[in-house]
C-alpha cells in the first residue's frame, strides 16, 4: 500500500503544479473514517481506497479525482455524509463521491432483474461527470484483483459476472482497453477457470513459435522497405 508521501510524489511526477493539501487531507480523512473496518482478506480497509487512488494516478488524473478515489466509500460505508465531504473538500469532490455512491447503490437494487445493457445505460445516465465512471472502474478493478479473498463462491461469481457484463463493456466504451482486458481476464478466471487455463496453456505452448514467425515476417518487411529507402520499425503484441 502506498503511504501518503508516495502517493503525492507519484502525482507530482505528472502534475508539477499539484497542491498536495487536498490529497493529504483526503488520505487522513479516509484513514480515520475506515479505521475499524477490514477487507474480506483481513487487511485494513484503507488498503482499498489507497489502491483505487493509485490506479487513478496511473491514469494521470487530477487531484480532485484522486481525492475521490480515497474517499469513494466514505458516504456508503461509514457515517460520513455528503455535507461533511462538501464542508471538508468542497462541492466538486463531494459530488464525485456521491456519484460513485449512487452507482454502488444501483448495483444492489437493479442488477439481478435487469439486462446488462439497460444497467450500463442507467449508470451512464446517472454519471454526470466522466470522472465518476473512472473512479468506479478503478474501484471495480481493485476489487477484481483481490476477489480471491472472497470465500463465498456465489458472491464472487456474481461480482465477476457483473464485471464481465457491465464494467468491462463500459471500459471498452470509454476506450480504456488495458483496464477492459484485465477486467475480462480476472472475471473469466472466476467464471470458468478451466477454460481459461486451457487457453492460457495453449497460448504459452505456441508463444515461442509465434515469436519466431513474427521475426521472420518483420525481417522480410524490413528488408523490402530498406531496399526502397524507407526507414521503419515494426512492432507486434501478443493478443490476450
Asked if residues 160 and 190 have their Cβ atoms less than 8 Å apart, the reply is yes
Other Cβ atoms closer than 10 A to 45: 19
DSSP 8-state code for residue 163: I
Beta strands in the chain (DSSP E): none
Phi, psi of 13 (to 5 degrees): -60, -30
C-alpha to C-alpha distance for 134 and 96, rounded to whole angstroms? 10
Q: Which DSSP string do the residues of 24-78 spell out, in sequence order?
A: HHHHHHHHHHTTT-B-TTSSBTTHHHHHHHHHHHHTT--HHHHHHHHHTTHHHHS
Give backbone dihedrals phi and psi of 186, rounded to 5 degrees, phi first: -65, -35
What contacts 18, CB < 8 A, 6 or more positions away?
8, 11, 12, 63
Distance CA 64, CA 85 (A): 12
Phi-psi region of 129 (alpha: psi -120 to 50; beta: other; left: phi over 0): beta
State how far the Cα of 35 lies from the Cα of 56, in Å rounded to an integer: 22
Active-site residue list: 76-77
Amino acid at each position: 500500500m502506498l503511504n501518503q508521501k508516495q502517493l503525492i510524489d507519484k502525482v507530482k511526477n505528472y502534475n508539477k503544479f499539484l497542491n498536495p493539501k487536498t490529497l493529504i487531507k483526503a488520505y487522513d480523512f479516509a484513514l480515520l473514517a475506515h479505521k475499524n473496518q477490514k477487507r474480506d482478506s483481513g487487511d485494513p480497509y484503507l488498503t482499498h481506497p489507497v489502491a483505487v487512488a493509485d490506479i487513478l494516478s496511473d491514469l494521470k488524473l487530477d487531484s480532485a479525482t484522486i481525492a475521490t478515489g480515497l474517499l469513494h466509500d466514505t458516504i456508503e460505508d461509514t457515517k460520513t455524509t455528503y455535507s461533511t465531504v462538501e464542508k471538508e473538500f468542497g462541492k466538486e469532490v463531494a459530488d464525485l463521491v456521491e456519484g460513485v455512491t449512487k452507482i454502488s447503490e444501483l448495483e444492489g437494487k437493479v442488477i439481478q432483474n435487469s439486462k446488462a445493457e439497460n444497467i450500463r445505460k442507467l449508470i451512464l445516465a446517472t454519471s454526470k461527470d466522466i470522472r465518476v465512471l473512472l473512479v468506479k472502474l478503478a474501484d471495480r478493478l481493485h476489487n477484481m484483483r483481490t476477489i480471491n479473498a472472497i470465500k463465498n463462491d456465489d458472491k464472487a461469481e456474481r461480482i465477476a459476472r457483473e464485471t464481465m457484463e457491465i464494467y468491462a463493456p463500459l471500459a471498452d466504451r470509454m476506450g480504456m482497453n488495458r483496464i477492459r482486458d484485465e477486467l475480462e481476464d480476472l472475471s473469466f478466471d472466476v467464471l470458468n477457470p478451466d477454460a481459461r487455463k486451457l487457453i492460457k496453456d495453449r497460448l504459452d505452448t505456441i508463444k515461442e513459435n509465434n515469436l519466431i514467425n513474427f521475426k521472420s515476417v518483420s525481417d522480410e518487411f524490413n528488408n523490402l522497405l530498406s531496399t526502397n529507402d524507407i526507414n521503419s520499425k515494426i512492432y507486434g503484441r501478443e493478443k490476450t
